[in-house]
Amino acid sequence: MRPCTKTTLTNGLRILTIPRKDDLATTFLVLVEAGSKYETKEISGLSHFLEHMCFKGTVKRPRAIDIAGELDGLGAECNAFTSQEYTGYFAKVEAHKLDQALDIVSDLYLNPVFDAPEIEKEKGVVIEELNMYEDLPMRKVGDLFMELLYGDQPAGWDIGGTKEVVRSLTKEQLSAYRSAHYVPQATVVVVAGSFDEPSIIKKIEAAFGGIMSGAKSGKSAVTEAQVSPQVFMKKKAVDQTHIMLGCRAFSAFDERRFALEVLSDILGGGMSSRLFQKIREEMGAAYSVRAGADLFTDHGFLAINAGIDQTKIIPVVKAILEEMEVLKNEPVPEVELRRAKNHLVGRIILGLEASDELASFYGAQEIAGEPLMSPQELVEKLEAVTGEDIRAVAQDIFTNDRLNIAVIGPVGDEATIKAALRFA
């Protein structure tokens, strides 16, 4: 595979091309620095709502059915997403249909019309999306965890916003926000798969090159303050209690992130991981147990998710903390370290067989301002992690002043959980 090539247009827009001539599918992806961390309390959720509205009509395709019908007619896989730090629009198509994908996705990004009746209708759609997530405690517990860590600041707000704010959004707010953030120097276009590189760059320049650069609004820095373990409980009548237990870590620019990835895999990255074996196989307390690190431009955390028997919440919490303590105090056996690295590398390489995953791999790095790293370079970084690197990270982040748990379940005593939530 040829490495990623970066081209920057005169207006500041960046183009990443990752050609693989034998691919049957090609992905066209547009990323823009516009997410929930760029919002104020009054427009919380607007980034996500704007993403929705781009599919409701453009100058060239005035109705939502015009967009959906054309995409379905291409046999395309097309979607969009909003995160804390960026929004993305993409289409994955048969390689020979890339020109049509470029035309549609660029139109969504460049020319939304924000028709007033469609805005009002889409408010109902987004509110039902929020309702859907409320009924998915396995996912909702992650929102509670973010709120627990970061509180009343953008990093702690739900990306989808609140129902009250969604109902209040106006066309003027959408237009103003888009003008402040959807500018070329804050936008990355990525093409991965089978395509003619010189030709596609010219076509992207023709579509995006005429956009004038504007002043880009920034985001507020995340503030963190914690002195002791914290608990956030939400009582809900569900058959299974869902927990997210973890610790504050560091940003995506920290070199320790590679050791953190290996550490999280050892804890809960697969069926042979320590927590899967302990909580599911030995204790029989959960069906799903997993660990992962989530790192942003100026903050991050490692967390363990589990859906558990409500009566076993305290033993499960203690089991997780015990495994964290072991990682702080004992070197990881070489056999286990090798297995975790093999598991991580295998997931990376297998995942990047798909053109959309490959586009996201490079695009996410570029939009975050990270130096571009190839999959091979990432593998080398992971392979270089030592047992002592892992222990050093564990000793740094597995401390009481970084420890948090969010819980969704039918019952629970917060004081009891908080008493158990403490390193020795």
Four-residue CA torsion sign, 41, 42, 45, 48: negative
Q: What per-residue confidence (pLDDT) applies to 2? A: 60
Predicted confidence band at 283 (pLDDT cuts at 50, 70, 90)?
very high
pTM metric for this prediction:
0.96
Nearest to 304 by CA among 224, 421, 158, 382: 421
Which residues are known to be catalytic?
Answer: 51
Predicted confidence band at 375 (pLDDT cuts at 50, 70, 90)?
very high
Predicted confidence band at 167 (pLDDT cuts at 50, 70, 90)?
very high
Residue 1 has pLDDT above 70, yes or no: no
Q: What per-residue confidence (pLDDT) applies to 245? A: 98
Q: What per-residue confidence (pLDDT) applies to 214? A: 84
CA 277 to chain centre: 27
Q: What per-residue confidence (pLDDT) applies to 424? A: 80
Q: What per-residue confidence (pLDDT) applies to 215? A: 86
Determine the Cα–Cα distance for residues 208 and 29; give it in Å rounded to an integer.
13
Per the prediction, the chain carries an average pLDDT of 96
Of 144-148, 197-201, 235-239, the poorest mean pLDDT is in: 235-239
Predicted confidence band at 172 (pLDDT cuts at 50, 70, 90)?
very high
Residue 210 has pLDDT above 90, yes or no: no
The 10s digit of each residue's pLDDT in 60-69 is 999 999 999 9
| Burial readout 318-357 (b: 16 or more C-beta within 10 A, e: otherwise) | ebbbebbeebbeeebeeeebebbbebbeeebeeebebbbe
Residue 3 has pLDDT above 90, yes or no: no
What secondary structure does DSSP assign to 111-170, as a single string?
-B---HHHHHHHHHHHHHHHHHHHT-HHHHHHHHHHHHHH-SSGGGS-TT--HHHHHH--
Domains and CATH numbers, the chain: 5-208 (3.30.830.10), 230-420 (3.30.830.10)
The 10s digit of each residue's pLDDT in 287-339 is 999 999 999 999 999 999 999 999 999 999 999 999 999 999 999 999 999 99
